[in-house]
Amino acid sequence: MRIVATEWERVLVYRDGRFVEVLEPGRHRRARRRQRFVRVAVRPRLLVVPGQEVLTADGLTVRVSLLATCRTVDPRRWHEAVEDADGFVYAALQVALREAVAGRTLDELLTDRQSLPAALREPVAVRAAGVGVAVEDVAVRDVMVPAELRRAAAAVASARAQGQAALERARSEVAATRALANAARMVVEQPGLLQLRTLQAVEAGGATVVLTTGPTADLGIRPAG
């Protein structure tokens, strides 16, 4: 019989239940009698791991979903090692995800999501190699936090922002008080500065200068109008 193997597959040949050879892409002629042919796809494929409920190191529950790109590199092992090689890799991803998330707090998980795929890929790649599969990429699709945790995080962020604003106001008030204290000290040490400031105000306009005479003479500035 004539067998055509395409570029994205390999054909396993078994004779009387025993493995004989792997047919590479191209046209082949083999006897049908007592032989069985198994086609194995070797092009990359996508494994989707939907949201998995996992516990973080601080005891909080989150849902994490993954995308993994894998490819069959050993067709014979992929067919013979286990009944469902892709299902085996899928289970390895689930186990690795639980182990990786269990070692991180929620804050670490949310702020450093980029490190999670690297932590998953190595252990999954080792297990997948045992069934003839190469894991080319692992990506975190979603990290879903329960609504009550989102509200709590929003409240913490709001309190943090309010505290920062209060701190900035306090700093501004301290700076203004220091500036007034420095100005008062300079006027006491050098009384002529007050007269110079008065002349500057007269020159700039927009203020009324009140001059008084006598023992309690006063030189001051009053707002215009």
Instruction: Say if domain 45-148 classifies as CATH 3.90.950.20.
Output: no
Identity of the residue numbered 33: R
Q: Give the Å distances, CA to CA, from 37 to 14, 27, 30, 74.
A: 6, 14, 10, 16
Q: What is the pLDDT of residues 76-87, one digit of tens each?
A: 999 999 999 999
**pLDDT score recorded for residue 152:** 59
Listed in order, strand segments (DSSP E) in the chain are: 2-5, 9-15, 18-23, 26-29, 35-41, 45-55, 61-72, 133-144, 207-211, 219-223
The answer on pLDDT for 40 being more than 80 is yes
Identity of the residue numbered 62: V
Which residue bears the tokens 């939907």? 50
**pLDDT score recorded for residue 211:** 58
Token code pair at residue 28? 């082949």
- pLDDT category at 172 given cuts 50, 70, 90 is confident
State the span(s) of the chain assigned CATH 3.30.479.30: 45-148
The whole-model pTM stands at 0.63
- CA-based angle 192:194:200, to the nearest 5? 110
Which among 49, 3, 53 is positioned nearest to 26, based on CA atoms? Answer: 3
Q: What is the pLDDT of residues 132-155, one digit of tens each?
A: 999 999 998 888 886 665 565 556
The answer on pLDDT for 112 being more than 60 is yes
The answer on pLDDT for 221 being more than 70 is no
- pLDDT category at 183 given cuts 50, 70, 90 is confident
